[in-house]
Amino acid sequence: MGDDLAWEPSGFPAPEVERLSETLPMSLARALSLWPDCPAVLCGGRSYSFRHLAARAAGIAAQIREAADAPGPVALLQSVGVDAIASWFACALSGRPFLLLEPDHPRVRLRQLMDEAGCALVLVDHRTLRVLGDAPRPRHLVPDDRHGVLEPWQGIGADEPAMIFATSGSTGTPMLVTYSAATLQAKVQSSVRIMGVPQGARVLIASSHGNFGFLHHACVFLVAGGTLCLAEIKAHGFAAVRESILVDGARQVRFTPTMFRKMAAWTEAREAMLALDAVRFSGEPLLATDLELARRVLRPGCVIQNVYGSTESAMFLWSSDVASARPLETTVPIGRIYPLFAFAIRPMEEGDADASTGELWIRSAHHALGDYKLGAVNPARFPLSAGSSRERIYATGDIVRRMPDGSLAHLGRAGRMVKIRGNRVFLAEVEEHLRAMQGITGAAVVAREGRDGPELYGFVTAEVIADPAAKAWAWLAERLPEFMRPRRIIQVPEIPLLPGGKIDHASLLERVQVSSLGTAIEPSRGDDHARLATIWDSVLWMGAHAHDTDFHALGGDSLKLMMLSMEVERAFGKRVPLGELAKDATFRNLARLIGAEDAPLRADKPEGLVLRRAWQSVAPHAGIALGMPGWTGRAPAELFGRAAFFPHHEVWAADFDVPGGTMRRRRRWWRAANEIVDGIRKGAVPVPDVIFGFSFGGGLAWIVSRMLAATGHSPRFVIMVDAVPLHRLRGFRCAELGRALAMASCRKPAATLHIRRASLAKLGLDWGNTTQWTAADDIQTVVELPTVDHLEMAHHDLLGVARESVASFIAGDGDVQEAVPAERVPGCLGVQIYNAVTGKPGALEMLLDGLAQDGPPRLRIGQLLPLLHAIHATDPIPCIPAEILRGWEKGLPSTWLLYARLRMGRGPDMLCPDDAPRLFPRGVVAVEKTFARRRRGGGSMRAWPLRLLCMALDLVSAVLWTAWVRAWRRLSRVESR
């Protein structure tokens, strides 16, 4: 096969042969031996070294081996984080291939892919635990933060199936492209040299972590000793890209051309763009105008590369530093083929004289192994080359032209397949899903070029059903990811056919009306509501704002949602909270979030209770779990959902709409409690089985449960997290509350569980809310988490370690685990300080090492105070601050830490009591009040003016000392040059 074609090999140098036989664990072991303490992953403000990454991979592999009760691939359904990266290596170590999945794809689609692959195990985390629902299969496994020793010789071999990637299928069903480790290494090892990746480089991959492009680029930088900067782009939009560049130091970025265009148009991104050393484009054709834009917004020395390739076969690369590779009139060449591959151009028609243009064929021994299905790999798409036992041929379907310098230019596709944001979409699969819908009698899908690349349009014929187009869109939304859904679905009397009986797609294309998407966004200067409607319509289509429908159902996608947030921020100067908008992506909700409602609605809108469903119910469910408003009025229901506290409950949130201020102002907390109780009594609020809350909301949950007990609508359970006993605080006491609690005293209250920071009372440190609750409050069960920081209790990873205790409490097992095993607790700063204060072996040294690496910008004095105070109790000259300061070779010492050090040197009679003057910064007041409340020794208190003077002197000393260190280090750097 292909003997009559002229095959041309690569001109790039081939990688070392021995590297191609490395498995993924072997590559990680090599990186570990070379750069053990260098950062491998940056995520969520934390740095993870290659040592940590290898230990996590070994720990997850041990879990997989223990949990694997059936053979087959492991599905990876994880959110962005270090575990998502470690799981690639863990699956190889455990002898199981992995299937990459996108957590935001429809549940039906995810289950279809796992069934096709035969997955019996799926790796999830607290954010993705509920994505698949409560079905018993496949078995869910949440990594427990276990660490182990990397043993790279274990697991699957280099030539066995190791990775599975889903693509849209030309036959109407998805295909599962399968790689061996050697297949991946052929691309990765070549990319390290061809792309010119330096050791220590930091990269941001601006795409989803659940596709091959992300995995390939990530492996390239890891094996080269680089660092992955992980960012929640879908949650935080372009701001996450900007922060990763300016804060995390990412100097190399992989973009799709569409995302780059939008990012470059954002004024706030200019500084970040100028900081980049290299930009690589992938996933879509790179236009000549994109190249011109890149050269305008990037600094002159920034390398620009165009990376093209199919998941099934070879990659190509074009680089801006190759002078002979010039762009075509419209597109930039895809460049030269990678080593270990050869290409040929098959003429479009028999006897075509133009041998430089045609379909791209590729020959190699390093193609994908084939398509995976239920434990077997089918290599049918890669027929053997004539006269070869290993080399196979892949007909890509891409139409290319060979340039005079030997590089290739991409001209389009031969078949009914398009690439949307780097994803291959066969139109046949979308059509098959439409035809499978009840009531649809015919369907066709066409693609046309839009402003941001190919756009799909669907046409359906239907029986007598109401609004078939809208129902068809909802049908697809449950089964296909957003990039596979048509932008619009149009009902037609009949599907036009050609004389041979095939669908006349050209005729359907003529029916697609050209929308207003090509026009520039120029919001009118009228009222805010009208300006917002202009922006909404310009991102979607004219008149879209009039439909009270989900943004995605109107033809939007995740990239358009980021575009929308960027334009709104530019027009209104307000950042759109993408996480909140995604839950209710309607024009009405966007207007509410930025305060641009219609004037009559805004004038009539009162301050009060707003009920929302935070998590979709999975029938049958055990009841309602109702979250209480927090300090600013919003109930943090998502925190409890991500911690997997109520997997069998429908989670609702009772928000209290607070235009300004807090829940304490104007006694909003009391109004909220009464509105919730009255709503439950009248049936306006669903009767809860569980009431829960965090901090302020936890105290409010306790009050509401008592008020409901008096009405006979008491919930069965109350779950509080580091809750504040509002009824015992001076600022919340009132006669109405006293009467309500007195009425409830004769009724049996709900069973109450309090998850709180562990007590340090034995060390003389009554920290947090541990002693403010009393026996009279009737809290049956207390679960303590080993941390000293209140804010860390609001992190789902830490809170999630108590989910088994919550499950046992709700189930009434009577065996609630009140002490959480230390090996399951994530290594947060507050946890490390708790371990150091309580004398855990090696904890103090580990803490000092971490502080020396992270430096003062990530340090909160509130977390360090317990440690400083505990050390001061036995050593009047505290050594810990000095050790920390000496360990900070980079950055600057913390002013508040220096201030705390000075204050500990004062006698107890020179510390200010709880009424520390508010004219000082909050950090100073926090230090003063902490040490004053816990001062040791007796004696009378000195005069107030003298104590105030000491405060001022110590603060000035700390500020001046910090400034002197800054100036000295700046001078030292200048002299060293």
Instruction: Express each pLDDT in 671-695 by its tens digit.
Output: 999 999 988 887 778 789 999 999 9
Give 529-581 as a DSSP string.
Answer: HHHHHHHHHHHS-TTGGGS-S-TTTTT--HHHHHHHHHHHHHHHS----HHHH
Percent share of the chain, pLDDT over 90? 30
What pLDDT is recorded for position 163?
96
Measured between alpha carbons, how far is 31 from 24 in angstroms, rounded to an integer? 11
| 499 burial type by CB count under 10 A (0-12 exposed, 13-18 middle, 19+ buried) | exposed
pLDDT band, residue 852 (cuts 50/70/90): low
Among 210, 209, 211, 159, smallest CA distance to 185 is for 159
CA–CA dist 144, 797 (Å, integer) = 10
Paired sense of beta strands 315-319 and 392-402, if any: unpaired
Mean pLDDT of the region 598-618: 57
Measured on CA atoms in the order 243, 249, 251, 253, is the torsion positive or negative? negative
Three-class DSSP labels, 68-103: CCCCCCEEECCCCCHHHHHHHHHHHHCCCCEEECCC
User: Each residue of 238-277: b (16+ CB within 10 Å) or e?
Assistant: bbbbbbbbeebebbbbbbbbbbbbbbbbbeebeebbebbb
Q: Hey, is 316 helix, strand or coil?
A: strand
Assign 885 a pLDDT band (cuts: 50, 70, 90): very low
pLDDT for 858 beyond 60: no
Residue 602 pLDDT level (bands cut at 50, 70, 90): very low
pLDDT score for 620? 46
343, two tokens: 């290409």
The whole-number pLDDT of residue 913 equals: 57
Least confidently predicted of 120-134, 852-866, 953-967: 852-866
Taking residues 418-429, what's their average pLDDT? 78
Of residues 768 and 71, which shows the higher confidence score?
71
Q: Compute the radius of gyration of the chain from its Cα atoms.
A: 31
Which secondary-structure segment (H or E) carries 59? helix 50-67
CA 574 to chain centre: 22
Residue 433's nearest CA partner among 489, 475, 373, 488 is: 475
- For the cut 80, the answer to whether the pLDDT of residue 749 exceeds it is yes
Which stretch of 376-390, 452-466, 534-548, 565-579 has the lowest confidence by average pLDDT?
534-548
On average, the pLDDT of the chain sits at: 81
3-state secondary structure of 339: coil
pLDDT of residue 863: 61
Helix (H, G, I), strand (E, B) or coil at 684: coil
Q: Partners of 346 in the beta sheet?
A: 359
At residue 605 the predicted structure's pLDDT band, cuts being 50, 70 and 90, is: very low
Q: Give the pLDDT confidence score for residue 936 in this predicted structure.
A: 47
pLDDT at residue 451, as a whole number: 66
Least confident of 226-235, 543-552, 581-590, 748-757: 543-552
Amino acid present at 130: R
Residue 557: pLDDT band with limits 50, 70, 90: confident
Tokens, residue 620: 């049958």
Residues in the chain: 977
What pLDDT is recorded for position 191?
95
What distance in Å separates the CA atoms of residue 89 and residue 387, rounded to the nearest whole number? Answer: 36
User: What strand order describes the sheet that includes 453-462?
Assistant: 440-450, 453-462, 488-491
Report pLDDT for 933. Answer: 55
In this structure, the number of other CB atoms found within 10 A of the CB of residue 28 comes to 27
Distance CA 801, CA 828 (A): 13
- Write the DSSP assignment of 901-913 as a string of letters: HHHHHS-GGGS--
pLDDT (0 to 100) of residue 600 = 41
Instruction: Calculate what percentage of the chain has a pLDDT beyond 70.
Output: 80
Judge whether residue 10 has pLDDT over 70.
yes
What lies within 8 Å, CB to CB, of 196 at 6+ separation is 278, 303
Measured distance CA(673)–CA(87) in Å, rounded: 45
Kindly state the average pLDDT of the residues 197-208. 91
Span of 341-350, 481-490, 564-573, 602-611 with lowest mean pLDDT: 602-611
More confident residue, 287 or 245: 245
Q: If pLDDT is split at 50, 70 and 90, which confidence band does 57 have?
A: very high
E strand or H helix that includes residue 166: strand 161-167
**CA angle (796, 797, 800) in 5-degree steps:** 75
The strand pairing partners of 626, in sequence order, are 652, 691
Which of the two residues, 847 and 883, has the higher pLDDT score? 847
Distance separating alpha carbons of residues 46 and 66, to the nearest angstrom:
29
Averaged pLDDT, 80-102: 94
Which tens digit of pLDDT belongs to each residue from 171-196?
678 889 999 999 999 999 999 999 99
Please, is 337 exposed, middle or buried when counting C-beta atoms within 10 Å of its C-beta (0-12, 13-18, 19+)? buried
pLDDT over 50 at 887, yes or no: no
Per the structure block, which two tokens stand in for 790?
């209140």
Q: Which pLDDT value is given to residue 479?
A: 83
Query: Residue 135 in 3-state DSSP?
Result: coil
SS3 content of the chain, % helix, strand, coil (to 5): 40, 20, 40
**Are 166 and 175 within 8 A, CB to CB?**
yes
Where helices occur in 693-828 by DSSP H, the ranges are 696-711, 735-744, 796-799, 803-811
Whether the per-residue pLDDT at 891 is higher than 70: the answer is no
- The pLDDT of residue 119: 92
Q: What is the pLDDT of residue 672?
A: 92
Which residues share a beta bridge with 611?
654
The answer to whether the beta carbons of residues 290 and 332 sit under 8 Å apart is: yes
Comparing CA positions, the residue from 901, 910, 827, 828 lying closest to residue 869 is 901
Give the Cα separation of 566 and 544 in Å (integer).
18
Least confident of 120-124, 382-386, 611-615: 611-615
Does residue 423 come out as left (phi exceeding 0), alpha (psi in the -120 to 50 range) or beta? beta
pLDDT of 523 strictly over 50: no
- Amino acid identity of 962? T
Please indicate whether residue 1 or residue 575 has the higher confidence score (pLDDT).
575
Q: How confident is the model at residue 91 (pLDDT cuts 50, 70, 90)?
A: very high
pTM: 0.60
pLDDT tens figures, 310-366? 889 999 999 987 644 454 457 789 999 999 999 999 887 666 666 788 899 999 999
- Average pLDDT (765-774) is 67
pLDDT reading at 580 higher than 80? no
Band (pLDDT 50/70/90 cuts) for residue 669 is: very high
Q: What is the per-residue pLDDT for 923?
A: 59
Most confident of 136-140, 657-661, 777-781: 777-781
Q: Is the pLDDT of residue 85 over 70?
A: yes
| Cα separation, 869 vs 200, whole angstroms | 39
Cβ-in-10-Å burial (0-12, 13-18, 19+) of 521 comes to middle
Q: Which two tokens stand for residue 160?
A: 């066995």
Query: Which of 160-169, 369-378, 496-505 comes out lowest in average pLDDT?
Result: 496-505
List of residues 6+ apart from 563 with CB closer than 8 A: 262, 539
Of 410-414, 691-695, 837-841, 883-887, the range with the lowest mean pLDDT is 883-887
Does the pLDDT of residue 387 top 80, yes or no? no
